[in-house]
């Protein structure tokens, strides 16, 4: 499923136009992004938790040349599925 498919499914399920569903999907994604950018987490009970994890600086290896490359510390988004989502997938 891509974003267009998601918008179509939301429009059909909520009985709204695709344009309205597109705005709603964009608003949800923007809100999650802004919250993660601020360093907070988003908990959707029964679905899961979006959070940010800190990656340490380190070394990596270029697979072509074998050259060692220094990597910078960075932040990465993380998602942990909730019990309701896990149960629905395994049903």
- pLDDT tens digit sequence for 12-66: 999 999 999 999 999 999 999 999 999 999 999 999 999 999 999 999 999 999 9
pLDDT at position 23: 97
**H or E element, residue 76:** strand 74-81
Measuring CA to CA, which residue among 60, 51, 53 is closest to residue 82?
51
Alpha helix locations (H) across 38-82? Answer: none
Alpha-carbon span 87 to 38, nearest angstrom: 31
Measuring CA to CA, which residue among 88, 3, 84 is closest to residue 49?
84
Phi, then psi, of 53 in degrees rounded to 5: -115, 150
């Amino acid at each position: 499923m891509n974003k267009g498919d998601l918008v179509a499914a939301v429009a059909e399920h909520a009985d709204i136009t695709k344009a309205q569903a597109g705005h709603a999907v964009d608003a949800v994604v923007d809100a999650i992004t802004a919250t993660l950018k601020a360093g907070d987490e988003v908990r959707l009970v029964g679905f899961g938790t979006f959070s940010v994890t800190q990656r340490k600086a380190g070394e990596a290896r270029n697979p072509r040349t074998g050259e060692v490359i220094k990597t910078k510390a960075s932040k990465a988004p993380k998602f942990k599925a909730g019990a309701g989502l896990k149960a629905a997938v395994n049903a």
